[in-house]
Amino acid sequence: MKKIITLLLLFSTLSIFGSTISLKKLNQEIELSKNLGNHEACIKLVCNFLAQPNITSAEKYEAYVLKSAIYRRLYKYEHALHFLDLALKEGIKGDNRATAEQEIKAERSFIYFDKQAFDMSEKLTTELEATGYRNLEPKYLLFLYTQKGYFLLKRKEYAASEKILNKAFNLSKRHFPKELPIIFGKQIELYHHTGNVEKRDLTYKAGIQSARQAHNIKYEFYLEEVMKNVFSSSKDYKNAFFHQQKCDSLFSLYNSNINSSKVELLEQQLKTQEYSYSSQKKHYMLLTIAVFALLLLLLLFITYKLYKNTKLKNKFITEENERIQNEIKYHLQISEQTQSSNKNKLDGFHFTERQLQIIDLLKKGKSNKEIAAELFISDNTVKYHLKIIYNVLNIKQRNELLIMYA
């Protein structure tokens, strides 16, 4: 009986204070958190949205696609593909089945492209092209054209590649000017392969200007990395190092901007909560007034019990936190002693801060791909730094480095 009354109370409370999140509001909040690099907040927002009762299959479809995109940004490609599978199950339930199938196929091609599984990506892109890109919105077309241009570039079909990339450029300029740096990056590679140095450099300058106008440091970083790879491929290490330095500088600036924007995120979350409370539905008000009149004394009793339990739990949590903090302090002391010892071993060599970071991650057993993901650089950049490190230390492989600083 007591449990039934408690559930009735919970139901009535949610009736007054609970409010649903609209799909439009979800997209706005995710866009804000995404721009601030807060992927954890993005995932929580989608999970909270999916946990709502009575959301439609169409809304679930959109939410799962959003969740897949978040995991794709985190390089968790298998997770991203899994959520696309869930999205498709919801998408085929409604009237827009054909559109859902096309969109999921496009999303999968983007994931395979990011994974560098180019054969799978091109297969899906070709299938979509055969349908005339039916039911796909311009945002999908933009990235499909860009991928197509890259595939043609890899096959050295330069004229066809330039034509489709120009098509993507015009589409982006008309509808999505903030995405222009992506197109510029692919055009830089194209003009480098065709030996059109002047056009390559002009495209690079235009891309940087576009990224700065959009206040997108990540795209500016992307363009610098493209230029670094271009010069590295032609063994122009002087210019490659110049653009690597720009990459390092932008990476530091990006982290600084994220930290300084945490306050903005908190303010936005508070505004969102205020908006949710102000726009709540009150169609259960008459019923809940009657329930509260009957259960007011019971609520006070339960509150008192909860207060006592919470007080005991807080005491336990405080003691546990103190114990954990003491353990952390001990392990930090051990870690600092170990790092100090390893640092002394490196003092005799002139490594850059980035190279020291890579050495530290190597000692932690990280692979080149994991190092690249953690430092927001490419695999080629990691290999480039490792080559310098090996030459300085006069070694040939990472096992020798691990033995040296074990």
- Does residue 278 carry a pLDDT above 70? no
> For residue 18, what pLDDT is reported?
41
Let me know if domain 137-259 sits in CATH 1.25.40.10.
yes
Structure tokens at 402: 């691990």
> For residue 252, what pLDDT is reported?
80
Mean pLDDT rounded to a whole number for the chain: 82
- Does residue 224 carry a pLDDT above 90? yes
Identical topology for domains 137-259 and 349-406: no
Q: What is the pLDDT of residues 29-38, one digit of tens each?
A: 887 776 666 7
> For residue 283, what pLDDT is reported?
57
Per-residue CA distances from 83 to 44, 55, 135, 159, 395 (Å): 15, 17, 21, 37, 44
What are the b/e assignments for 39-49, b being 16+ CB within 10 Å? bebbbebbeeb
In which band, very low, low, confident or very high, does the pLDDT at 207 lie, cut at 50, 70 and 90?
very high
* Structural domain boundaries in the chain: 137-259, 349-406
> For residue 169, what pLDDT is reported?
95
Say which amino acid occupies 321.
Answer: N
Per-residue CA distances from 54 to 24, 57, 103 (Å): 17, 9, 24
Contact 144, 160 (CB under 8 A): no
Contact 65, 87 (CB under 8 A): yes
Helix (DSSP H) and strand (DSSP E) numbers for the chain: 19, 0
Q: What is the pLDDT of residues 136-173, one digit of tens each?
A: 999 999 999 999 999 999 999 999 999 999 999 999 99
Does 209 or 218 have the greater pLDDT score? 209
> What is the spatial distance between Cα 402 and Cα 345, in angstroms, rounded to a whole number?
12
Residue with tokens 């994931």: 111
The pTM for the full model equals 0.58
In which band, very low, low, confident or very high, does the pLDDT at 13 lie, cut at 50, 70 and 90?
very low
- Mean pLDDT value across residues 21-32: 79
Measured in residues, the chain has a length of 406
What are the φ and ψ backbone dihedral angles of 366, each rounded to 5 degrees?
Answer: -75, 145
Dihedral (CA of 77, 79, 80, 84) sign? positive
> What is the spatial distance between Cα 176 and Cα 180, in angstroms, rounded to a whole number?
7
Per-residue CA distances from 395 to 48, 260, 362, 388, 391 (Å): 52, 41, 15, 10, 7
> For residue 277, what pLDDT is reported?
47
- Does residue 134 carry a pLDDT above 90? yes
Q: What is the pLDDT of residues 109-120, one digit of tens each?
A: 999 999 999 999
Highest average pLDDT, of 66-70, 289-293, 296-300, comes from: 66-70
Helix-helix angle 138-154:118-130, to 10 degrees: 120
41-55, 106-120, 165-179, 281-295: the lowest-pLDDT one: 281-295
> What is the spatial distance between Cα 62 and Cα 68, in angstroms, rounded to a whole number?
10
> For residue 402, what pLDDT is reported?
83
Q: Please name the helix (run of DSSP H) or strand (run of DSSP E) that holds residue 200, with its range, or none.
A: helix 197-213
> For residue 9, what pLDDT is reported?
41
Contact 224, 246 (CB under 8 A): yes
Please state which CATH class domain 349-406 belongs to: mainly alpha
Centroid of chain to Cα 387? 29
Three-state DSSP class for 403?
helix
- Does residue 274 carry a pLDDT above 70? no
- Mean pLDDT value across residues 232-251: 90
